[in-house]
Amino acid sequence: MVCEVNTSELLDRIGHDAELLQEVIELFFSEYLTHIEKIRAALAENDAEKLAKAAHTLKGSVSNFACSSAYEAVLQLEQTGKHNQLDQTEQAIQKVNEEVSQLRPVLESIVKDLRS
């Protein structure tokens, strides 16, 4: 499913500031892999609490973009940690990666439209 960003909500959040949005997007994507690495480290340590905390942090970052499908994917990942369902984590990480990869072009298109 392609990420459906609530564009008006997103623009309201950033005051219709294209430069600020671009900075937030760049920061998110530069830190995204760090979040995933922390999640994978928690999984390698079999530490459900660490996994839930790392996923919670990622969920906060994703929530900035008003994309419900990406948010729901990260929420599901967080729940695997909270409910100690580590056997479901790889599938949840894959879903998060899919959603985030679809989020990038959507956000870049919004920035491009704001700048034109």
pLDDT tens by residue, 47-69: 999 999 999 999 999 998 888 89
Contact between 18 and 82 under an 8 Å Cβ cutoff? The reply is: no
> What would the mean pLDDT of 26-44 be, rounded to a whole number?
92
Q: Which residues contact 102 (CB under 8 A, 6 or more apart)?
A: 1, 2, 3, 69, 70
Q: Encode pLDDT of 71-85 as tens digits.
A: 999 999 999 999 999
pLDDT band at 94 (very low <50, low <70, confident <90, very high): very high
CATH number among 1.20.5.510, 1.20.120.160, 1.20.140.10, 3.30.360.10, domain 7-115: 1.20.120.160
pLDDT at residue 2, as a whole number: 63
Q: Where are the alpha helices (DSSP H) in 1-116?
A: 7-13, 18-44, 48-63, 68-82, 89-115
Task: Say if residue 34's pLDDT is above 90.
Answer: yes
Q: What is the pTM of this model?
A: 0.84
pLDDT at residue 1, as a whole number: 55
Domain locations in the chain? 7-115
% pLDDT > 70, the chain: 98
DSSP codes of every residue in 2-26: ---B-HHHHHHHTTT-HHHHHHHHH
